[in-house]
Amino acid sequence: MNIAFLNGTYLPLEEAKISPMDRGFLFGDGIYEVVPSYAGKMVGFAPHIERMNNGLSAIGINLGWSENDWSDLCAQLIEKNGAGNLGIYIQVSRGADSKRFHGFPENVVPTVFAFTFNIASAIGGR
């Protein structure tokens, strides 16, 4: 079973549900990043998260997460999914609004979604 993270909750990936009114779905209004991990150890974590935070800042999504918050999320996903060779996919959107509108809505809570997937070994290819 693959355990995902959605808005503060760890749950089976197949149970994760995101609103069809989420701006990430409607407009591609969000940022994603993938952090690789081999044998449970993240590779290039700091530059990946710096790029994620820079992207969020550039499009005006104020999530307020620190590098430690991201590290805790990734470490939990690695642990909950077996600590093998995993890619950690992180998606943050501006969030869901009650109507479809091109302008940025006010007082909308960003959506944070993350899950893992198996990746090839760093040594020896597949």
How many structural domains does the chain have?
1
- Rounded to whole angstroms, what are the CA distances from 119 to 34, 85, 97? 11, 6, 35
Q: Which domain holds residue 13?
A: 3-118
Yes or no: say if 111 and 92 are a contact pair by the CB < 8 Å rule.
Answer: yes
122/84 Cα distance (integer angstroms) = 12
- Give this prediction's pTM: 0.90
- Whether 39 maps to a domain, the answer reads yes
Yes or no: say if 88 and 38 are a contact pair by the CB < 8 Å rule.
Answer: no
For residue 55, what are the contacts with CB-CB under 8 A and spacing of at least 6? 31, 33
Band of the pLDDT at 88, cuts 50, 70, 90? Answer: very high
- Whether 82 maps to a domain, the answer reads yes
- Whether 123 maps to a domain, the answer reads no
- Whether 35 maps to a domain, the answer reads yes
- Whether 126 maps to a domain, the answer reads no
- What is the residue-averaged pLDDT of the chain? 91
60/25 Cα distance (integer angstroms) = 17
CATH code of the domain in which 12 resides:
3.30.470.10
113, two tokens: 């979604």
Average of pLDDT values for 73-92? 95
